[in-house]
Amino acid sequence: MLRCTLSTALLLCMLTAAHPDASAQDRYGQVEFATSCSADAAATFNEAVALLHHMMYDQSKALFQEVADADCVMAQWGIAMTQLHPLWAPPSNEELALGGAAVDRARDLGGPTEREAAYIEAIAAFFETEGSFPVRLQAWEEGQAELHEQYPDDVDAVAFHVLSQLATAPADDPAFARQAAAGSITEKLLEDHPRHPGLIHYTIHAYDNPVLAGRGVDVARGYDRIAPDVPHALHMPSHIFVRLGHWEDVISWNHRSADAALEHPVGERTSMHFPHAIDYLVYGYLQIGDDDAARSALSELHVRDPYHPVLGAAYGLAAPPARLALERRDWPEAATLPVREPASFPWSDFPAAESITWFARGLGSAMEGNEVAAQEAVDRLNELHDALVQADEAYWAVHTDAQRVAVGSWMQYAAGQTGDALEEMRSAADLEDSVDKHPVTPSTVLPMRELLGEMLLMMERPDEALQAFEAALKISPRRLNSLTGAARAAEMLEDRQTAAQYYGQVEEILGGRSDADRPRMADTRAFLIGDRQ
């Protein structure tokens, strides 16, 4: 018997109670976007808008193109919108040109209502503003704000305004105030529009941070009820689950998302939603110590080439092999990771993704004492950092900066310069902590604050190490290596109560699994056995 409580769980209850047979509902949720398009075009147009809200941009564009010649001026607005991926990455020159051309075409066709013209002008602000991606996003946010003010009862106008607010929210606000305000708006509207894909999707994005994630659990669990076959709808809830360390949920939802993504190719290429889901899947398996399952999931990437060349695919291809080596502290494997695989992918367009591989190679080489190979990685990271700065990709430049500093730090440590090494490692951790994680990733491939804790343990400074691991856990709860690091530090401090707390969490996560072969797993078992005798 379904019982509902007064909270965000109201959404979950409404979805289940009002729509017990999801197969009888729309495949993508409910969108009722009034336009001057013909009646024949209206249903397809609404499906296209729903997919736009799901961030299934290529599939959405295909549907807008279907009705572009059916006396539907707003289809051109839709095509322009599909060229803007505000939470993912800056548009390519081709996307800028296509979006701008669609705006011009919409204006040339003429005849839209005042409301439709306002929608067109809102997206035009992005494509017609000169400057960097953040500057264009700010212009778009101002356009969406004006549209929202003109049409306060238009649910899609509100939803796109919320999306623009999330895209322009400061990356260094520890309170995530703008995200909290945006989530409150969409949550309120969900009471009257429980099947609107944008409201559900953007609520999850609003709460995808370490401060607000708990507010997004019930909304996340309801997403698949409106879009049971949409890859991104099946993946997006794991953004909340990752933030809370709900690893079994991360695994199950991304299995479903990866399977669904294969049913939604982009032409003859595998959609970015597949490697995106695999990255989260590998990460989830690694956090429960199931390294064999993580490696099996990783193997799926190698048989799905070619991939759609976008950042989500680039990151999803580069991160999983690095994670597998780094989480297991397999430094020889990390040091020899192949660069730019698959070779058919245009890696030069994605320096932020390529830097992941070079960071892993550099760190592995430094840990192995191979100064020449480590320096080669630092040199390449320097080049990639310069490329990101020149491309106005300030966010990713911060991460690559942290990566090159960290590799250099461990090179100093290997050379016996422990004081300088520690100073540099603290700097790398501060750099990474200055920005929140990007939506394209479940976590950085190896949190710098955790890596700082490892160095402090090796230097036999357990009090500082414990502080570092606990700081890492505030950002990434229930991370396996941070937990074992904190436990070991507490044990070195002879704080058995704190050690038992962290070792107990490790035992809970492993769920009785005894095959996890990681550093400090023997410490975990020895402590737990001794604690019970």
Three-state SS for 273-333 is HHHHHHHHHHHHHHHCCCHHHHHHHHHHHHHCCCECCCHHHHHHHHHHHHHHHHHCCCHHH
Q: Are 134 and 115 spatial neighbours (Cβ–Cβ below 8 Å)?
A: no
Q: Are 484 and 523 spatial neighbours (Cβ–Cβ below 8 Å)?
A: yes
Q: What pLDDT score was predicted for residue 515? A: 58
CB atoms within 10 A of CB 185: 19
User: Distance (Å, rounded) from C-alpha 401 to C-alpha 529?
Assistant: 42
Judge whether residue 514 has pLDDT over 70.
no
Q: Are 141 and 165 spatial neighbours (Cβ–Cβ below 8 Å)?
A: yes
Q: What pLDDT score was predicted for residue 531? A: 62
Judge whether residue 21 has pLDDT over 80.
no
Where does the pLDDT of residue 171 fall: very low under 50, low under 70, confident under 90, or very high at 90 and above?
Answer: confident
**What interhelical angle do 39-53 and 57-67 show, nearest 10?**
170
| H helices present in 392-461, as ranges | 394-414, 418-433, 448-458
Taking CA atoms, 392 is separated from 99, 134, 303, 398, 503, in Å, by 20, 9, 34, 11, 43
User: Distance (Å, rounded) from C-alpha 9 to C-alpha 357?
Assistant: 41
What b/e readout covers 300-322, taking b as 16+ CB neighbours within 10 angstroms?
Answer: bbeebeebbbbbbbbbbbbbbbb
DSSP line for 21-51? -GGGS-SS-------SS-HHHHHHHHHHHHH
CB atoms within 10 A of CB 121: 17
Percent over 90 (pLDDT), the chain = 87
| H helices present in 169-208, as ranges | 177-190, 197-206
Q: 8: part of which helix (H) or strand (E)?
A: none
Query: Which residue from 75, 70, 66 is spatially nearest to 38, judged by alpha carbons?
Result: 70
Where does the pLDDT of residue 525 fall: very low under 50, low under 70, confident under 90, or very high at 90 and above?
Answer: confident
| Every domain range in the chain assigned CATH 1.25.40 | 9-244
Query: pTM of the prediction?
Result: 0.92
User: Distance (Å, rounded) from C-alpha 453 to C-alpha 183?
Assistant: 34
Query: What mean pLDDT, rounded, does the chain reach?
Result: 92
Q: For residue 298, how far is the Cα from the chain centroid? A: 18
Q: What pLDDT score was predicted for residue 26? A: 67
Q: 26: part of which helix (H) or strand (E)?
A: none
Q: Is 173 helix (H, G, I), strand (E, B) or coil?
A: coil
Query: Which residue from 254, 260, 225, 224 is spatially nearest to 239, judged by alpha carbons?
Result: 254
User: Distance (Å, rounded) from C-alpha 219 to C-alpha 212?
Assistant: 13
User: Distance (Å, rounded) from C-alpha 352 to C-alpha 303?
Assistant: 23
What letter would DSSP give residue 20?
A: S
Q: What pLDDT score was predicted for residue 528? A: 78
Dihedral sign of CA atoms 224, 215, 239, 99 in order: positive
Where does the pLDDT of residue 523 fall: very low under 50, low under 70, confident under 90, or very high at 90 and above?
Answer: confident
pLDDT tens across 437-450, in order?
999 999 999 999 99
Judge whether residue 258 has pLDDT over 70.
yes
pLDDT tens across 371-405, in order?
999 999 999 999 999 999 999 899 999 999 999 99
Where does the pLDDT of residue 410 fall: very low under 50, low under 70, confident under 90, or very high at 90 and above?
Answer: very high
Structure tokens at 522: 């023997």
Q: Is 480 helix (H, G, I), strand (E, B) or coil?
A: helix
Q: Is 269 helix (H, G, I), strand (E, B) or coil?
A: strand
Residue pointed to by tokens 């890596």: 451
Judge whether residue 17 has pLDDT over 50.
no
DSSP line for 88-111? T-PPPHHHHHHHHHHHHHHHHH--
**What is the architecture, at CATH level 2, of domain 9-244?**
Alpha Horseshoe (1.25)
Mean pLDDT value across residues 94-116: 94
Judge whether residue 228 has pLDDT over 90.
yes
Q: For residue 505, how far is the Cα from the chain centroid? A: 25
**Between 172 and 88, residue with greater pLDDT:** 88
Mean pLDDT value across residues 501-511: 92
